[in-house]
């Protein structure tokens, strides 16, 4: 009896609403549509620092996408540690879009051909930026060819600039792994620059922006050689709804909030495609030759 009374009590508001709808013709509308996207990437620094860097740009992208779709767009974030884990996020479809290094994109595309480039970052109004082979400021070395018999510091083993393009630059100068006294992968570009500045290595490869920052801080290094590298692609997962993917692509191209972008060290986006990363793909293909000279 008690439960029957409770059921009747709970149903009264619903019955009243149905009667009101029948009399007035008014009925509650559907819940307003909302598009929820997840952006994922690896965090080479503290996760909190990465969130602070990315959030202003992601908010700007969400605002642009909302206008294009005519729906509220929310962008969540998922951060992981390491190149491999970051690539796995987009390869496995665990996130909707991501920001990858060129080499990471090439590896991801090989694993999942359904991935698509949304846009490329603009660095000082260009689709490319320079890598630097640096030596100590007081070094007698004046050309890459003279690095034979010297030590060399590379970045990460999966780094486009810190490994693949720097090793390709050495090969073009006739140098292979066996021609170096020793070499190591130090991970971050700033570690490479500081190691060369402190004399731990005779030379090393790092990003030009990082190189310039270290020089301003008084690290005693100078450029021996520069070489070009493509900017980062922003990539959509396979199977993302075409209307959402297209809106996201246009939103990236529309973003012009320089304050937001500054934290990520680029100034906007260009249209991009898989073909923009063919030079990276070629550098990766040739890379085994750098070590084959040991045989």
pLDDT band at 292 (very low <50, low <70, confident <90, very high): confident
pLDDT at 32: 55
Instruction: Give the span between the Cα atoms of 96 and 75, in whole angstroms.
Output: 10
Q: What is the mean pLDDT of residues 110-124?
A: 95
C-alpha triplet 50, 235, 33: angle, nearest 5°: 85
Residue in the block written with tokens 């000082």: 124
* For residue 44, pLDDT beyond 90: no
Q: What is the mean pLDDT of residues 100-127?
A: 94
Provide the residue ranges of all domains of the chain, joining segments of one domain with +. 34-125+232-283, 128-230
By percentage, how much of the chain surpasses pLDDT 90?
72
Instruction: Give the span between the Cα atoms of 176 and 124, in whole angstroms.
Output: 33
Q: At CB < 8 A and 24+ separation, what contacts does 103-106 make? A: 103/158, 103/159, 103/160, 103/163, 103/164, 103/280, 103/284, 104/158, 104/160, 105/233, 105/235, 105/277, 105/280, 106/277, 106/280, 106/281, 106/284
Residue in the block written with tokens 């490994």: 163
pLDDT at 24: 40
**Quick one: tokens of 219?**
């690290």
pLDDT band at 4 (very low <50, low <70, confident <90, very high): very low
For 233-263, write each residue's pLDDT tens digit: 999 999 999 999 999 999 999 998 888 887 7
* CATH node for 128-230: 3.40.190.10
SS (H, E, C) 140-201: CCCCHHHHCCCEEEECCCCCHHHHHHHHHHHHHCCCCHHHCCEEEECCCHHHHHHHHHCCCC
**Quick one: tokens of 57?**
């740009």
Rg value, the chain, Cα: 26
pLDDT band at 7 (very low <50, low <70, confident <90, very high): very low
Instruction: Give the span between the Cα atoms of 55 and 74, in whole angstroms.
Output: 12
Q: What is the mean pLDDT of residues 57-71?
A: 95
Measured CA distances, 90 to 60, 68, 95, 161 (Å): 22, 24, 6, 22
pLDDT at 8: 43
For 138-152, write each residue's pLDDT tens digit: 999 999 999 999 999
Domains 34-125+232-283 and 128-230 agree in fold: yes
| CA within 13 Å, CB half, 199 | 2
Instruction: Give the span between the Cα atoms of 206 and 5, in whole angstroms.
Output: 75
C-alpha triplet 9, 14, 18: angle, nearest 5°: 140
CATH class in words for 34-125+232-283: alpha beta
Beta strand 233-236 with 97-99 is: antiparallel
By percentage, how much of the chain surpasses pLDDT 70?
87
Buried-state track 37-76, b at ≥16 Cβ within 10 A, e below 16: bbbbbbbeeeeeebeebbebbbebbbebbbebbeeebebe
- What torsion do the CA atoms of 91, 93, 98, 99 make, to the nearest 10 degrees? 0
The 8-class DSSP code of residue 240 comes to: -
* Cα Dmax for the chain: 97
Q: Compute the mean pLDDT over every residue in the chain, rounded to the nearest whole number.
A: 87
**291 conformational bin, left if phi > 0, alpha if psi -120 to 50, beta if neither:** alpha
**Quick one: tokens of 183?**
């070499």
Q: What is the mean pLDDT of residues 14-25?
A: 42
């Amino acid at each position: 009896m008690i439960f029957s009374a409770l059921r009747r009590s709970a149903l009264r508001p619903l019955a009243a609403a149905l009667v009101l709808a029948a009399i007035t013709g008014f009925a509650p509308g559907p819940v307003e549509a909302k598009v929820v996207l997840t952006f994922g990437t690896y965090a080479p620094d503290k996760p909190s620092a990465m969130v602070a860097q990315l959030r202003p740009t992601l908010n700007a992208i969400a605002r642009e996408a909302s206008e294009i779709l005519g729906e509220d767009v929310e962008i969540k974030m998922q951060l992981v540690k390491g190149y491999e884990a970051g690539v796995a996020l987009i390869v496995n479809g665990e996130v909707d879009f991501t920001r990858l290094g060129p080499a990471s994109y090439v590896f991801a595309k090989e694993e999942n051909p359904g991935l698509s480039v949304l846009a490329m970052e603009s660095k000082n109004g260009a689709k490319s930026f320079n890598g630097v082979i640096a030596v100590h400021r007081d070094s007698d070395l004046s050309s890459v060819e003279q690095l034979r018999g010297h030590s060399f510091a590379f970045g990460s083993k999966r780094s486009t600039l810190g490994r693949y393009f720097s090793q390709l630059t050495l090969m073009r100068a006739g140098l292979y792994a066996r021609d170096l006294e020793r070499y190591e992968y130090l991970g971050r570009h700033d570690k490479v620059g500081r190691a060369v500045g402190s004399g731990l290595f005779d030379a090393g490869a790092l990003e030009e922006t990082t190189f310039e920052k270290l020089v301003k801080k008084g690290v005693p290094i100078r450029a021996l050689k520069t070489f070009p590298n493509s900017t980062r692609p922003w990539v959509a997962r396979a199977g993302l709804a075409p209307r959402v993917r297209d809106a996201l692509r246009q939103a990236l191209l529309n973003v012009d909030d320089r304050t937001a972008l500054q934290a990520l060290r680029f100034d906007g986006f260009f249209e991009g495609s898989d073909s923009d990363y063919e030079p990276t793909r070629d550098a990766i293909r040739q890379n085994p030759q750098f070590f084959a000279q040991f045989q």
